[in-house]
Structure 1
Amino acid sequence: MNRTYVVTGAASGIGAATTRYLRERGARVVTSDLRDADVLADLATAQGRAALVEGVMSHSEGRIDAIVANAGGGPPETSLSLNFFGAVATLDGLRPLLERSPAPRAVVVSSVASLRPARAALIDACSSMDEAVAIATARAIFESSERHDDVQVALDLYASAKQALERWCRKVATEPRWAGAGIPLNVVALGFFDTPAAAYVLSNPESRAAMARLAPLSGAFPGRADEAAAVLAWCISPENSQMTGQILFVDGGIECQARGAGSP
């Protein structure tokens, strides 16, 4: 029997590649994005999160086998709402639909940017699931920067959201609603892949060269979207019956080099 998967952020990049990879192998995929998808939903908003659950229920007849929570990125103004709260709402909202699957799975897409030092106030707000405080804190950080379009501040917000997401997944993965229900939940933290979202780096020769130097694995930069799709597909396959609560860095060795041999 073919499996039914949900992929968010499916209109382009990693999400589109994952959708294609799964469908080529016979899976049924319910896609979600702001456009060009089965379910149109803005996961940075409460209305969009509700629309995702309602739409997936309609397209799947109330039963799915796995979730690829891939939607992310976006402008600084919605970074926390999309990259943390939207991802958590996706997993929490769709988890009940996994209960009828004989081999339910879930995977979340994070980023090597999560290795950056996080803003403690943002992590605390996310850990408390207080979206209003998180947004207010992010706004204050952004507005206090020397330039409101400061790329580094925007990256700090994104990195903090992804680190908070990884922490949330590690925390809940062993809880009864996930592990107790037989649902492996894992995170794939991606490095630099050749996608539209990375065009701002890859199209600039200096930035491209600088990023390439970060990856010690020869030939790994930039990664191809179908390579990321293959890793995500394995995480949600029936064959993955043992691994849960893990953060897999698929980044050409960036995390390994940054943390060193002595890190756990």
Structure 2
Amino acid sequence: MSTSISNETTFSGKVALVTGAASGIGLATTKLLHERGAKVIAVDRSSDIETLARPGIVPFLADVAEEDSVVRAVALAIETFGKLDILVNNAGIIINKPVVDMTLDDWNGILAVNATGAFLFSREAMRAMIPAKQGAIVNVGSYACYQAFPTIAAYAASKGALAQLTRALSLEAIDHGIRVNAVGSGDVVTNITNHIHADGPGFLAEHGKNAPIKRAAQPEEIAEVIAFLASDKASYLVGSVVMADGGMSVALK
């Protein structure tokens, strides 16, 4: 019973900002942080984000790759709730194309959201957190932080960049009492591949069977790891990429 009560109030008094919050991991994370007491700025470029509006959750329609939108999103947290304690860089997109078929726009589009967006939000969040001498940034990576397979060169490059951003920024941030870490997720049953496959969640559920655990994750499972990394329970984790991929990153195929 005591553990349940503790979980429900883990983020009481905290203010979080979650990107890619309209669906999948971002939606699950937004709901979980809010359920455990946090006030949340929920950011997404889909108008579906507006359906999250309720006491304690403020939706913000924005493209994470646009600098002005990022500045305004962080400012909204300060104006609405007075501070920012937690940033979850979750927004991400993917394409499946061989490099020889990829356009510069394809490449730049993936890097803009997955890497540049995380840089911009991290920079603005750091500027808000430094005066308070505390905070947590959690980046949502992938087994593609370390591994690759054909057709995901842009995605893998962006997630590799995210892992290195996590490490480098963590060393700059910790002197200010701010922890930066990442979760390396495996296949998760979300809509991220809907533009590629007729049944994106079904494809990911099937692809997840390649992991040693023999299944894909549900968004809520990854949200739990994100919540842990954002909490004081992870107080000694700095610059870590915690793999939550069902064993994919340790299996030799």
The TM-score range, normalised by the shorter chain, is 0.7 to 0.9
Q: How many positions carry a matched residue from both structures?
A: 217
In 2, the alpha carbon distance for the partners of 1:30 and 1:227 equals 21
In 1, the alpha carbon distance for the partners of 2:44 and 2:174 equals 28
1:191 has 2:202 as partner: no
Q: Which residue of 2 aligns with 1:112?
A: 143
Q: Structure 2 counterpart of 1:44, which letter? A: A
190, 208, 211: which one pairs with 1:215?
A: 211
1:164 has 2:195 as partner: no
Q: Secondary structure at the match of 2:110?
A: helix
Q: Which residue of 1 aligns with 2:62?
A: 41
Q: Secondary structure at the match of 1:173?
A: helix
- Higher relative contact order at CA 8 Å, sep ≥6: structure 1 or structure 2? 1
Q: Secondary structure at the match of 1:10?
A: coil
Q: Structure 1 counterpart of 2:227, which letter? A: A
Judged with a 3 Å threshold, the aligned counterparts in structure 2 of structure 1 residues 117 and 216 are, in CA distance, closer, same or farther, namely closer
What do you get for the CA RMSD once the two structures are aligned?
A: 2.3
Q: Secondary structure at the match of 1:203?
A: helix
The unaligned stretches of length 5 or more in structure 1 are 119-150, 260-264
Measure how far apart 1:48 and its partner are.
Answer: 2.5
Measure how far apart 1:245 and its partner are.
Answer: 0.4
Q: Which residue of 1 aligns with 2:74?
A: 53
Please list the CA deviations of residues 218-257 of structure 1 after superposition, one character each: whole Å capped at 9, or x if unmatched. Answer: 4xx2111111111000101122211010111110000011
5, 23, 27: which one pairs with 2:38?
A: 27
In 2, the alpha carbon distance for the partners of 1:93 and 1:21 equals 24
Q: Secondary structure at the match of 2:233?
A: coil
Q: Structure 1 counterpart of 2:165, which letter? A: W
Equivalent residues of 1:84, 1:165 under 8 A apart = yes
Q: Which residue of 1 aligns with 2:86?
A: 66
Measure how far apart 1:214 and its partner are.
Answer: 2.3
TM-score, normalised by the number of residues in structure 2 = 0.78
Equivalent residues of 1:74, 1:82 under 8 A apart = no
In 2, the alpha carbon distance for the partners of 1:212 and 1:70 equals 20
Q: Which residue of 2 aligns with 1:224?
A: 218
Aligned-residue sequence identity (percent) comes to: 29
Measure how far apart 1:50 and its partner are.
Answer: 2.8
Equivalent residues of 1:65, 1:104 under 8 A apart = yes
In 2, the alpha carbon distance for the partners of 1:2 and 1:48 equals 25
Q: Which residue of 1 aligns with 2:15?
A: 4
